[in-house]
Amino acid sequence: MKIHEFQGKELFRQAGVPVLEGIVAVTPDEAAAAYDKLGGPVAVVKSQIHAGGRGKGTVIGNPEQHGVVLVKSADEARQAAAGLLGNKLVTIQTGPEGQTVNKVFVEAGCDIARELYLGIVLDRAVAKPVLMVSTEGGMEIETVAENTPELIHKEHFDPAIGLEAFQVRKLCKKLGISGAAAKAAAKFMPAMCRFYVDYDCELAEVNPLVITGDDQMIALDAKINFDNNALYRHPKLAEYRDLAEEEPSEVRASDAGLSYVKLEGNIGCLVNGAGLAMSTMDIIKYHGGKPANFLDVGGGANEEQVTEAFRILLSDPNVKGLLVNIFGGIARCTTIAAAVIAASKTVGFEVPLVVRLEGTEVEEGRKMLSESDVEIITATDITDAAKKIVAATGV
């Protein structure tokens, strides 16, 4: 789960990670009032969307309007908010369609002496979280990683112990930080690492991490992804979820207990088991097609869930064909067959449908399908299924 910058900063503040004062606004007048409340002379109006690159991003139809705007009066704050709210902001992370800005965060201006980068992720190879810092703050870290990987410094830490003092000193040396700023780092870096562990994050990124003119360290940006599998341990985070930022079909799928990820292609896939779903996508690509989604209906999927899955797949206008690939282990082929028949009645299939069934109650399932009046292209195995759906979809 992703959250907004202003929400991340709220959590940072509680965790002892220094941030600046800021106020959320949903109208231009609120933004102007927020500027006055912060007291100026400089503030920044920042679009709140679940994507980075806002500073360089621009609003559709208004290339002069960037997603992060420095303002020096209440009037400028009002104008900046008016240019952002309700409009679509395109950044390198949103795709060309952009994301609608529903809120702005008006934040006190910062006296920036240096912009650094700090990020924490899980390093699966080492089975520990890793803190990464770089002098190249404010830039796309992916570009730094590609062109000058030697400028990214890493320290793994034990989640039970956190980041140790000697590790902070090592990193400060590499960043060229000493004196009061190093003292600030000795608080900031371990606090961020503790935050990452305490909230079961997948990613906690501060870019830029700023050193101010008076040697303080401040998180000027906050990008946080939580591990969905651990969300049950943090019930308070539920109120931070912003459904407006999520793909509507993915919200529907998660409500129905389905694991669904929308993709760009045109072959809708309905599969049980994440592994089989991945290999189904692979084999479609291998035979020249493009999957429209990843979908794992799960081991114990019932007829209602599978019908909803068909509805979600068919609501995607890109979908020009459907591939059902079921290996009945816990799920029975008869359940899937019944769902296919039910879906054809309630949803209706206007695109070619290839079905490959195998496993528990397969004979009964196939019989149900062949006796129904649903138009189906049957496949004998996964390769056959992929070839048939690619041919029927006509890439």
According to the annotation, is 98 in a ligand binding site?
A: no
**Residues paired with residue 45 on neighbouring β-strands, in sequence order:** 69, 106
Which string of b and e fits 377-391 if b means at least 16 CB within 10 Å? bebeebeebbbbbbb
Kind plus residue range of the DSSP H or E element containing 353 = strand 353-359
Query: Of residues 148-207, which lie at the interface with ligand ADP (CB under 6 A)?
Result: 207
Integer Cα distance of 277 and 300 in angstroms: 15
> Which does residue 185 touch among ligand ADP, Mg ion, none (CB within 5 to 8 A, set by kind)?
none
- Identify which range of 103-111, 235-243, 249-257, 350-358 contacts ligand ADP by CB under 6 A: 103-111
- Nearest distance, CB of residue 80 and ligand ADP, angstroms: 13
Annotated catalytic residue within 5, 76, 136, 205: 205
Contact string 114-153 vs ligand ADP (x = CB under 6 A): -x----------------------x---------------
Q: In the complex, which residue's CB is closest to ligand ADP?
A: 55
98 binds ligand ADP (CB under 6 A): no
Annotated catalytic residue within 117, 196, 199, 260: 117
Query: Of residues 25-64, which lie at the interface with ligand ADP (CB under 6 A)?
Result: 44, 46, 52-55
Read off the DSSP letter of residue 7. H
CA 162 to chain centre: 26
Integer Cα distance of 164 and 154 in angstroms: 13
Integer Cα distance of 222 and 8 in angstroms: 6
Neighbouring CB atoms inside 10 A of 347's CB total 16
According to the annotation, is 53 in a ligand binding site?
A: yes
According to the annotation, is 228 in a ligand binding site?
A: no
Task: Check if 205 is active-site.
Answer: yes
- Identify which range of 79-87, 106-114, 327-335, 336-344 contacts ligand ADP by CB under 6 A: 106-114
Q: Of 155, 221, 308, 361, which lies in the binding site for ligand ADP, with binding defined by CB under 6 A?
A: 221
**Cβ neighbours of residue 45 under 8 Å, at least 6 residues apart?**
31, 68, 69, 71, 77, 80, 81, 84, 104, 105, 106
Q: Which of 224, 332, 212, 308 is nearest to 260 (CA)?
A: 308
Residue 166 tokens, joined = 């000697």
Read off the DSSP letter of residue 347. T
By CB under 6 A, the count of residues binding ligand ADP is 18
Which of 76/221 has CB closer to Mg ion?
221
What residue spans of the chain are helical by DSSP H? 5-14, 28-38, 74-84, 141-147, 165-175, 179-198, 248-255, 274-286, 303-314, 333-346, 362-371, 382-393
- Nearest distance, CB of residue 219 and Mg ion, angstroms: 10
Which of 19/168 has CB closer to ligand ADP?
19
110 binds ligand ADP (CB under 6 A): yes
Integer Cα distance of 7 and 209 in angstroms: 17
Integer Cα distance of 391 and 395 in angstroms: 8
Which of 57/268 has CB closer to ligand ADP?
57
Sign of the CA dihedral running 14, 16, 18, 21: positive
Q: Of 3, 20, 192, 322, which lies in the binding site for ligand ADP, with binding defined by CB under 6 A?
A: 20
- Nearest distance, CB of residue 218 and Mg ion, angstroms: 13
- Nearest distance, CB of residue 210 and ligand ADP, angstroms: 8
344 binds Mg ion (CB under 5 A): no
Q: Of 7, 47, 207, 266, which lies in the binding site for Mg ion, with binding defined by CB under 5 A?
A: 207
Task: Check if 35 is active-site.
Answer: no
Residues acting as catalytic residues: 117, 205
Residues that bind ligand ADP (CB under 6 A): 20, 44, 46, 52-55, 68, 107, 109-110, 112, 115, 138, 207-208, 220-221
* Annotated binding-site members for ATP: 46, 53-55, 107, 110, 115
| Binding-site residue set | 46, 53-55, 107, 110, 115, 207, 221, 272, 329-331
Residues found near Mg ion in the complex (CB under 5 A): 207, 221
